[in-house]
């Protein structure tokens, strides 16, 4: 399905033998076995919440990169001069380093900055400790919330502006499944504020059972 798609960023992998690697195997096995998405996001009994969150940050980073990689040739500074979801929702970039104030940039620029920012965090062993015996930082949950809030915006932009492209290449079911998985995960662990989820509220209501959507 994605053959020939432009690779957007290198895939981040889990180090074999680590707890995060084993958790990823468990989660993948649940998905591949056809387990319901709402059930497979639940923290396995006895496992560490931060490890579960860290594993999913990397997993969704890879998946959303793949999705954006299929449309990035059509997402240019000219076609998408603002990171947006239709005329109602616009997002400015701020990272407190290179962009200390919210700055309007094009969608491809925003997404590039976002993925580089996440990749830097993932590679920072003080934020994502590589071994289970090394503690996570006290603000880890807040960092994860910020990551997922911004990753959600990639879904918003792709659904509003590039869904036709995904339909053309037969990737509609893939992004819908990925989005449902993402939505269940962020809702289960309170990672994205409800107001941030509003741009895709109608879509969510179409894709999920009534009792699970906002």
* pLDDT value for 181: 93
* pLDDT value for 35: 55
* pLDDT value for 39: 87
CB 75 within 8 A of CB 161: yes
> What are the 10-residue block averages of pLDDT along the chain, 214 residues in total?
39 54 49 66 91 93 91 94 95 96 97 95 93 91 98 96 91 90 96 95 91 80
Q: What is the largest CA-CA distance in the chain?
A: 50
Q: How far, in Å, CA of 214 to CA of 204, rounded?
A: 8
Token reading at 85: 């979801």
Q: Please give the CATH architecture assigned to the domain spanning 36-207.
A: Up-down Bundle (1.20)
* pLDDT value for 131: 84
- Long-range CB pairs of 162-168, under 8 A, 24+ apart, other chains included: 162/71, 162/74, 162/75, 165/70, 165/71, 165/74, 166/67, 166/70, 166/71
* pLDDT value for 30: 43
* pLDDT value for 125: 93
* pLDDT value for 37: 86
Sign of CA dihedral 102, 105, 110, 113: negative
Q: Which residues have CB under 8 Å from 158's CB, separation 6+?
A: 67, 68, 71, 166, 175
* pLDDT value for 18: 54
In the chain, domain spans: 36-207
* pLDDT value for 11: 54
* pLDDT value for 120: 94
Q: How far, in Å, CA of 126 to CA of 114, rounded?
A: 19
């Amino acid at each position: 399905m994605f053959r020939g798609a432009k690779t957007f960023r290198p895939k981040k992998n889990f180090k074999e033998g680590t707890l995060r690697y084993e958790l990823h195997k468990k989660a993948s096995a649940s998905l591949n076995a056809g387990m319901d998405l709402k059930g497979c996001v639940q923290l396995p009994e006895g496992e560490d919440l931060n490890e579960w969150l860290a594993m999913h940050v990397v997993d969704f980073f890879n998946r959303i990169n793949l999705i954006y990689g299929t449309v990035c040739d059509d997402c240019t500074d000219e076609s998408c001069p603002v990171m947006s979801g239709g005329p109602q929702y616009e997002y400015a970039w701020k990272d407190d380093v290179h962009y200390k104030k919210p700055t309007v940039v094009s969608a491809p620029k925003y997404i590039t900055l976002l993925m580089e920012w996440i990749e830097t965090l993932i590679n920072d062993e003080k934020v994502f400790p590589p071994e289970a015996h090394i503690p996570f930082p006290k603000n880890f949950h807040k960092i994860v919330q910020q990551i997922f809030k911004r990753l959600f915006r990639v879904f918003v932009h792709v659904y509003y502006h590039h869904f036709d492209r995904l339909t053309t290449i037969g990737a509609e079911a893939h992004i819908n499944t990925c989005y449902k998985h993402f939505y269940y995960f962020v809702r289960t662990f309170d990672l994205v504020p409800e107001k941030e989820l509003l741009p895709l509220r109608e879509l969510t209501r179409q894709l999920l059972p009534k009792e699970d959507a906002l």
